[in-house]
Amino acid sequence: MWELRAYIKPYWKFVLLGPLFMLGEVFFDLLQPRLAAHIVNFGVVERDFSVIEKTGILMAVVALLSLITGVGCNLFASRASQNFGADIREALFKKVQTFSFDNVDQLKSGSLITRMTSDVVQVQNLLQIALQGLVRAPSLLIGSVVMALLMNMRLGLILLGTLVALSLVLVVLIRFSSKLFAAVQTRLDAVNTRIQENVAGIRVIKAFVRSGYETKRFEAVNRDYTDISIQAARFIALNAPIVTFIMNGCLVAILLYGGQDLVTQGSVQVGELVAFINYVIQVLSSLLMVSGLLMNVSQANVSAKRIHEVLETKSKIEDAPSSKVEHEKATAMLPVQQVKLSGVAFSYNGSAAAGDLVLQDINLEARRGETIAIIGATGSGKSSLVQLIPRLYDVTSGSIQIDGRDIRDLPLTKLRRSIGMMLQESFLFTGTIGDNIAFGKPDASQADIEAAARIAQAHDFIEKLPDGYETQLGQKGVNISGGQKQRLSIARALLIKPPILIMDDSASALDLGTERKLREALTAIMKDTVTFIIAQRITSVAGAHRIVVLDAGRIAGSGTHEELLAACEVYQDIYRSQFGKEEVMAHAQKQQPISFS
């Protein structure tokens, strides 16, 4: 928890006032046994009803003051803990937004969700309990022991011996429980990851009738989490019975010794023995509170370390020191004339070993107004290649330059603002269609939104919807088709009018007619951009200025459609697989490639 102290500082007034009010409550609670002893000794024994009446009223006033101070402590503690938790969640969310894909791959999305929810709740609850119990329990414990010792030293020594034994037991319990709490959170990560994966892929699961299989997989991780949680709960459950057993034994010893030896000898009054027993009960109550608090500290400490790990994780992709001054002025797009890849190699784990490399020796140059198409078999590295340009990942070796400047020396904000990217997965957010199109340019006018939608061939189907551009989309756009989602994603990228345009298989769900209209509508825009197109269909790339053929992470060929069809064996194989060997000549005569010039 110490690592998160900076998030407590803004609420130091609440953190200070809460314990002060709690000290007041403890003070008033410690008065009650004394007042009870006074009633017994001078009211009940002496049959003086005026003493009983006056002391009873005083006890009621003290109880009321205890209630007021206790409520005040709870209010201040709640304000501090809730704001503390909210600030940590915000800090975690902002931190995750800075992460590269590598960071997210390493920490895993399910674990990040657990840390932003369950772990934050743990540390938030600890602060709430600490501002109340951390003051009340030790204060009540120490105060009760001191008052008990002042009343009778011999009985107090029995109480002190009991406390030493209890302390040893609690140390053992906490030492073993800490490891269990860490394991509980790790298992919870696995549960959240499995849930997230299944909810995201529910359509695939149902399509392949794999609900039973996925249920068994979930049952396995859920059972692991349940088993470890039960083990942790056992340690927590041992806490109260052990403390109660030992303290009850102490109470019996005090009653036997105090009742038989002290009261009968007259060295201790009955009221004092009653007060002493009340203090012992308060010690028992505070010990239960302390032991529970220590368990909470052990559990929250694990969560705090997991939170701190995220907050201290540095993004693997950051602005270069030379671009930090420029970063503050990185509002405009880059005036891109050329994109050049020189000797680019890439692996997802950062290893330069040949067996780990997804891309090797990639040399490529694209100029403004050129359309570079990238084609290849599944797993050849097409998407990996274009993800390097906006630095979603960094190259393992080699360089990518824009107008002669390495992209690692450019401010990330400026670089990414200059790239319009249409990803393979058409991800849409909950909200209106208009908001989704304007995601990259929130201040866009309705006319600009509609213009982008028209180019993306989305305007017609949007207009047919009951609410048009105000139509609310469900999570990930579940209430529209795949082709419609792709067209909205294309419109979103086109709206910002970027100097670099990347289309990563973004028209795969479109029919040939719609795709042709899209290409024709894009012609005017592409004259002012450097365009990279990834596609599976030959017809989608045949009219590009240059086609790059990837095979196992290497460039197997580069040239126009005609040049590759004549000289590149890999391209020929792709062509035959799509049109058939017998239809190659017929297709060459009938099929007119879509031109990007």
Q: Residue 586: CB partners within 8 Å, gap ≥ 6?
A: none
Each residue's pLDDT, cut to its tens digit, for the chain (597 residues) gives: 667 888 888 888 888 888 888 888 878 877 877 787 778 777 776 677 787 888 888 888 988 988 898 888 888 988 888 899 899 999 999 888 888 888 887 888 778 888 888 889 888 888 888 887 677 777 777 777 777 777 777 777 777 777 787 778 777 777 777 677 778 878 887 887 787 777 767 766 766 677 788 888 888 888 888 888 887 777 777 766 777 777 777 777 777 766 555 555 555 666 666 777 777 777 777 777 776 777 777 778 888 888 888 898 888 888 776 655 555 455 678 888 999 999 999 998 877 787 788 999 999 999 998 999 999 888 888 888 999 999 988 899 999 999 999 998 888 888 888 888 887 777 888 889 899 899 888 888 999 999 999 998 889 889 988 889 998 887 777 778 888 888 888 899 889 888 999 988 877 777 778 878 888 888 877 888 999 998 888 888 888 889 999 998 899 999 988 888 888 888 888 888 887 654 454 444 444 444 454
Residue 371 forms beta bridges with which residues?
531
User: What is the distance, to the nearest Å, from the Cα of residue 196 to the centroid of all Cα atoms in its chain?
Assistant: 12
User: What is the distance, to the nearest Å, from the Cα of residue 137 to the centroid of all Cα atoms in its chain?
Assistant: 34
CB 318 within 8 A of CB 415: no
Say if residue 144 is in the same domain as residue 291: yes
CB 254 within 8 A of CB 158: yes
pLDDT of residue 548: 93
Take residue 373 and report the two structure tokens written for it.
Answer: 């198409």
Take residue 407 and report the two structure tokens written for it.
Answer: 């992209």
pLDDT of residue 258: 61
Lay out the sheet containing 419-422: strands in order across.
419-422, 500-504, 530-534, 371-376, 546-551, 554-559
Q: 3-class SS at 215? A: helix
Rounded Cα distance, 241 and 236, in Å: 10
Say if residue 412 is in the same domain as residue 372: yes
Say if residue 292 is in the same domain as residue 361: no
Say if residue 54 is in the same domain as residue 140: yes
Q: 561 lies in a domain?
A: yes
CB 289 within 8 A of CB 133: yes
Query: Which residue type sits at 272?
Result: E
Take residue 254 and report the two structure tokens written for it.
Answer: 């005090």
The number of folded domains in the chain is: 2
Query: Which residue type sits at 122?
Result: Q
Q: 322 lies in a domain?
A: no
Rounded to the nearest 10 degrees, the angle between the axes of helix 153-200 and helix 211-256 is 170
Q: What CATH number has the domain bearing residue 147?
A: 1.20.1560.10
Rounded Cα distance, 7 and 90, in Å: 11
- Which of 36-50 are b and which e, b meaning 16 or more Cβ less than 10 Å from the residue's Cβ? bbbbbbbbeeeeeee
Say if residue 219 is in the same domain as residue 345: no
Say if residue 287 is in the same domain as residue 352: no
Say if residue 291 is in the same domain as residue 351: no
Say if residue 461 is in the same domain as residue 543: yes
Alpha helices in 6-134 (DSSP H): 12-39, 49-98, 101-107, 109-114, 120-129
CB 247 within 8 A of CB 283: yes
pLDDT of residue 259: 59
Is residue 181 left, alpha or beta, with left meaning phi > 0 and alpha meaning psi from -120 to 50?
alpha
CB 35 within 8 A of CB 56: no
Residue 374 forms beta bridges with which residues?
534, 548
Q: 319 lies in a domain?
A: no
Give the residue numbers spanning the domain of 216: 2-312
Q: 463 lies in a domain?
A: yes
Query: Which whole-number Å values give the CA distances from 228 to 195, 247, 324, 341, in the listed order?
Result: 19, 30, 47, 51
Of 278, 312, 346, which residue constitutes the final position of a domain? 312
Q: 3-class SS at 313? A: coil
Rounded to the nearest 10 degrees, the angle between the axes of helix 270-312 and helix 49-98 is 10
Q: 321 lies in a domain?
A: no
Rounded Cα distance, 309 and 111, in Å: 12
Say if residue 293 is in the same domain as residue 421: no
Helix (H) or strand (E) holding 500: strand 500-504
Euclidean distance between the first and the last CA atom of the chain, given in angstroms as a whole number: 61
Give 222-273 pLDDT, tens digit per residue: 888 888 888 777 777 776 677 777 777 777 777 776 655 555 555 566 666 6
pLDDT of residue 269: 65
How large is the C-alpha radius of gyration of the chain? 36
- Which of 240-273 are b and which e, b meaning 16 or more Cβ less than 10 Å from the residue's Cβ? eeebeebbeebbeebbeebeeebbeeeebbebbb
Rounded Cα distance, 432 and 477, in Å: 10
Say if residue 75 is in the same domain as residue 117: yes
pLDDT of residue 323: 58
Take residue 8 and report the two structure tokens written for it.
Answer: 């407590």
pLDDT of residue 399: 93
pLDDT of residue 104: 82
Q: Residue 438: CB partners within 8 Å, gap ≥ 6?
A: 444, 449, 492, 495
Say if residue 56 is in the same domain as residue 199: yes
Q: 363 lies in a domain?
A: yes
Is the full-model pTM beyond 0.85? no
Alpha helices in 313-430 (DSSP H): 324-327, 382-388, 412-417
Q: 562 lies in a domain?
A: yes
Q: 507 lies in a domain?
A: yes
pLDDT of residue 401: 94
Cβ neighbourhood burial of 213 (10 Å; 0-12, 13-18, 19+): exposed
Cβ neighbourhood burial of 397 (10 Å; 0-12, 13-18, 19+): middle
Take residue 324 and report the two structure tokens written for it.
Answer: 């930090």
Q: What CATH number has the domain bearing residue 421?
A: 3.40.50.300
Comparing CA positions, the residue from 409, 449, 421 lying closest to residue 433 is 449
Rounded Cα distance, 250 and 279, in Å: 12
CB 293 within 8 A of CB 169: no
Rounded Cα distance, 456 and 518, in Å: 6
Say if residue 308 is in the same domain as residue 350: no
